[in-house]
Chains A and B, each alone.
Chain A
Amino acid sequence: MSAQGDFYVRTNPLEALPPPAHRRGLWGWVRENLLSSPLNIGLTFAGLALLWWMLPPLLNFLIFDATWSGTDRAACLATAERPHVGACWPFIHERINFFVYGFYPIDQRWRVDVFFVLLAIGIFWPLTPRAPFRRLGALYAFTVLPIASAILLLGFAPLGLPPVATSLWGGILVTVVVASVGIVFSLPLGVILALGRRSRMPMVKLFSVIFIEFVRGVPLITVLFMASVMLPLFVPEAWAPDKLLRALIGVALFAAAYMAEVVRAGLQSIPRGQYEGAQALGLSYWRMMGLVILPQALRVTIPNIVNSNIALFKDTTLVFIVGIFDFLRTIEVARIDPKWATPVTSATDYAFAAIFYFVLCWMMSRYARNMEKRLAAGQRRR
């Protein structure tokens, strides 16, 4: 009777059992995420009720009940056979040129189109991570683009471009001009202010702090009022800037103060050793900043710079209050047009504007998020 043969010792591990049926597949996911507890079930039903209450009316308004063709308000009015009328899209279609160009002379509108193309190059070239010659792209965006745009949009007689007064500009053109001027001027100004705030010279620091804190402490609206009613008083009468330029100055100064704080945060994230290393190599202040500190600081602040530009882009709507004919103003003007006066015109108009702003801001915020991930790649644990 050898004892050995009676023992049964398993040498191979058992085949792993699949997870129980109620934890697998779609149903498993639903149980786990939507129905795991009474509170969770309640939340799910509340969420479904909210969606049921909001989504169908929204989709009906924007798509299913919407009017897609027509020539005037009659197409968008409720009738006996069509009691529910949604968005009035032919109205947007008819007014789209007004929304884009404002009162820019019709035969000169190609200049605006060229400007949009130049601007798109100026945005995508330096910001695409794998684009060739990105530095050249940045140089283009901050030097060539502003000058070329000014010549193109304002007109330059020797080149055969008749001048167009800024009072005729309008719509998306003005919104884009205000936003890009704000961005192009606020970055260098913001860098200078941020360096000033961290300077060891007391007077430089004092002026920078006063400017930054003052501008950040007041609403943009009051800065715009100041630019539009006080600025003309402060310069000799002959120099009084035109209305759009005044708003541009106000927006650029406002954006610069916020940009300064963003850049300052970036400067603070650079370790002391970098400054000391640069100084030990004998670099002067400006070379230290330009060659060592700022390239690193600006790189890590790209996501924040983009976020602050999103805020600036949304804030450009405020120039409407000081009488600039921006996109929102064209929306407001078109809304009360008697030719298209229907109960749904206002809502259609605002929906169009909301989609415009949402798409652009959302794209910018996606870009910022991707950049953040890219920059964090070095720190990610594997």
Chain B
Amino acid sequence: MSGARDDAPPKVSPFYDARVRAVVFQVLLCALIGYLAYSAITNAAENLARARIASGFGFWDSTAGFDISQTLIPYTTQSTYGRAFWVGLLNTLLVAALGIVVATLLGFSIGILQLSKNALVSRIASGYVEAVRNIPLLLQLLFWYNAVLKALPNLRESIAIPGGALLNNRGLFLPKPIFGAGLDAILVGLALGVVGAIAIRFWARRRQALTGRQFPVFWTSALLIVSLPLLLAAIVGFPVTFDYPEMGRFNIRGGVEILPEFAALLFGLSTYTAAFIAEAVRAGIQSVPHGQTEAAYSLGLRPGPTLRLVVVPQAMRVIVPPLTNQYLNLTKNSSLAVAIGYPDLVQIFTGTVLNQTGQAVEVVAITMAVYLTISLVTSGLMNLYNRRISLVER
């Protein structure tokens, strides 16, 4: 009988009851945030009505009336704001994707060089990381754009780069490849090469599992993927011609134009992010205990397979999370394009469109939603990859 009474929760006054307090506190918090949201909305409605600014997304389909210097999809001044949005988004994605590729290559190389036994090289690599990480990205972008690319010679005195390219303060002009008939043959060759490489990989795995004999998969695949398209291209007679940029009186005709804004942004973003990636790579490789390498050597593995099969898989577990963060940072930092005038999403949308329509709430909300989506999708994908490579414990 007494046991039943001991099991009953002790009586406390509601004022000291943790559950009651939690409920009251949360209700108050919700009320406060609700009130703030409500007053923000009513104030915004009032202020907008007073300033005679339209609200809603009606502007999406009206004519934009401004020009954009780099468009990946057809766009004219007669196009709509919605079209301008897609142009900006594609430009952002272009610079982010290229930046991620370049920064990864550069960052991994510098990170590995930092660990080199060569004292000179490792110190140069560390010096690069220190210098680049401690200077604001915006300053670096302004420097590359204003002090380097804008200081190049003008159109008349363009620098001719061997291979038919021209460089001046209006950008880099590259020869444009034009593919003639017979391109299909090359693509078929490429597809055959890839299929062959995959087939060889499967076969070599099976054979190694059955007999233990190894096969140089990497070099065979590389040979197949490179040589098959080349061979077929030689048979159909290299159906590629180049449209070389030509100096005109006031501008350059032909070729592919790479804007100085784009070049400065890509260069600045990738060199900056590479320094952070290098640090992540260095930390990751150093986190693999030396005993792992020694154990692999004592099992008879050579340095190459040791690195590939023992060190890198373990290092990647440590490298991937900060690497994801750096990819996201690079994408978000591409919004600094607005400072040097590269037409990315922020420059077009929160710059020009916001000024023309005055619809701050809608425009900023759309821009933020886009970056939020990119962030969530990227970190979701990287989490999937991370789960695949992470250590499986009991």
Residue numbers of A with Cβ under 8 A of B are 33-34, 36, 40, 43-44, 46-48, 50-51, 200-204, 207, 214, 216-222, 225-226, 229-230, 232-237, 310, 314-315, 317-318, 320-321, 328, 332, 335, 343, 346-347, 350, 353-354, 357-358, 361-362, 365
Contact = CB atoms under 8 A, between A and B. Distances in A.
* In the A-B complex, the 8 residue pairs with the closest CB atoms: A361-B134, A217-B375, A219-B332, A234-B40, A229-B360, A314-B136, A203-B26, A219-B335
Of the candidates A36, A222, A318, A357, the one having the most CB atoms from chain B within 10 angstroms of its own CB is A222
Of the candidates B139, B367, B368, the one having the most CB atoms from chain A within 10 angstroms of its own CB is B139
Contact of B29 (A203, A229, A321, A343): A203
B29 A357 contact: no
A233 B44 contact: yes
B146 interface: yes
A123 B305 CA distance: 51
A314 B25 CA distance: 38
Interface string B21-40: 01001100110010000011
15 contacts: A43-B118, A200-B22, A204-B26, A221-B350, A225-B346, A226-B368, A229-B364, A230-B360, A318-B336, A320-B339, A332-B142, A343-B151, A346-B151, A362-B134, A365-B133
A222 B367 contact: yes
B43 A233 contact: yes
Interface stretch (B119-127, B226-234, B251-259, B307-315): B119-127
Contact of A357 (B139, B350, B360, B368): B139
Contacts of A47: 118, 120-121, 124
Contact of A222 (B29, B43, B137, B350): B350
A332 B350 CA distance: 22
Nearest to A336: B146
A264 B304 CA distance: 40
Main secondary structure of the interface of B (DSSP, over half): helix
Contact of A346 (B147, B332, B354): B147
Given A218-B368, A230-B364, A233-B47, 17 more contacts: A34-B120, A43-B118, A43-B121, A44-B120, A48-B120, A216-B375, A219-B335, A225-B354, A229-B364, A232-B47, A234-B44, A310-B134, A328-B142, A354-B139, A361-B133, A361-B134, A365-B133
B362 to A, nearest CB: 10
Interface of B: 22, 25-26, 29-30, 33, 39-40, 43-44, 47-48, 50, 116-121, 124, 130-131, 133-139, 142-143, 146-147, 151, 332-333, 335-336, 338-339, 346, 350, 354, 360-361, 364, 367-368, 371-372, 375-376
Contacts of A235: 40, 43
A222 B368 contact: yes
Contact of B372 (A51, A218, A320): A218
Contacts of A226: 364, 368
A203 B332 contact: no
A346 B146 CA distance: 7
Of the candidates A218, A314, A318, A362, the one having the most CB atoms from chain B within 10 angstroms of its own CB is A218
Contacts of B33: 207
B361 A217 contact: no
Contacts of A51: 124
A225 B147 contact: no
A40 B147 CA distance: 36
B12 to A, nearest CB: 14
Contacts, number: 149
A320 B142 CA distance: 12
Contacts of B118: 33-34, 40, 43-44, 47
Contacts of A200: 22
A317 B85 CA distance: 26
A236 B44 CA distance: 8
Contact of A33 (B25, B39, B117, B361): B117
Nearest to A364: B134
Contacts of A40: 117-118
Main secondary structure of the interface of A (DSSP, over half): helix
A43 B332 CA distance: 35
Contacts of B364: 222, 225-226, 229-230
B139 A328 contact: yes
Contacts of B333: 219
Contacts of A346: 146-147, 151
B143 A225 contact: no
Contacts of A321: 138, 336, 338-339
A287 B44 CA distance: 41
Contacts of B367: 222, 225
A38 to B, nearest CB: 12
Given A201-B22, A314-B136, A46 B143 contact: no
Contacts of A220: 332
B185 to A, nearest CB: 40
Given A50-B124, A354-B139, A34 B119 contact: yes
A309 B9 CA distance: 48
Contacts of A219: 332-333, 335, 346, 371
Contacts of B39: 234
Nearest to B44: A233
B143 A350 contact: yes
A218 B25 CA distance: 30
A219 B367 CA distance: 10
A317 B139 contact: yes
Nearest to B350: A225
A309 to B, nearest CB: 13
A44 B139 contact: no
A51 B135 CA distance: 20
Contacts of A44: 118, 120-121
Nearest to B376: A217
B142 A350 contact: yes
B360 to A, nearest CB: 4
A326 to B, nearest CB: 10
